[in-house]
Amino acid sequence: MSDLQSRLIAVTLDDESIGRASPDVEHERAVAIYDLIEDNHFVLIRHPGPYQLVLSLVERRLIFDVRDDGGVPLVTHALSLTPFRKIVKDYALVCESYHQAIRVASPSRIEAIDMGRRALHNEGSQILQERLQGKIELNLDTARRLFTLISVLHWRG
């Protein structure tokens, strides 16, 4: 499959189930979506791309509504968010510590916090890849970008 077929071309958040947040959080969501669209490797098993993705939340599940480039639905996957709850919470706390540290902490302290943040980010990304295995193929960079978006969806601002 060519690189043009192995990618997301659009990501949309369902306003009804996800809801709106503060302007700062909406900005973070938009940046996460932009980064995901800009560079990704996303392959729906048994369906050629490119793809559009609509994300929604239903009963503690993240719904992946995957569509073809014309918007025709291909498949829907429900991903339980329970395995992500602790890591998303820990990731948010470390991100908050990092943002506070960059104002006042020593470079070595900032680097230590950032290493912890990256480790949690990688762990969440690997969980995401495992949970989607056999359904959706993602490389690690795409899984990282998608985990960032999942994390930002939990922020209310």
- Where along the chain do its domains lie? 8-153
Residue 63, phi then psi, degrees to nearest 5: -95, 120
Distance of alpha carbon 45 from alpha carbon 67, whole angstroms: 13
In the prediction, which pLDDT does 2 show?
52
Mean pLDDT of 122-127: 94
* Gap between the Cα atoms of 44 and 60, Å rounded: 23
Q: Can you tell me the mean pLDDT for 41-64? A: 92
> Higher confidence at residue 148 or residue 9?
9
The predicted model scores a pTM of 0.85
> For residue 11, what are the β-bridge partners?
53
Q: Which amino acid is at 39?
A: D
pLDDT value, residue 28: 83
pLDDT value at position 157? 46
d(CA 2, CA 23) in angstroms, rounded, equals 37
Instruction: State residue 23's pLDDT score.
Output: 85
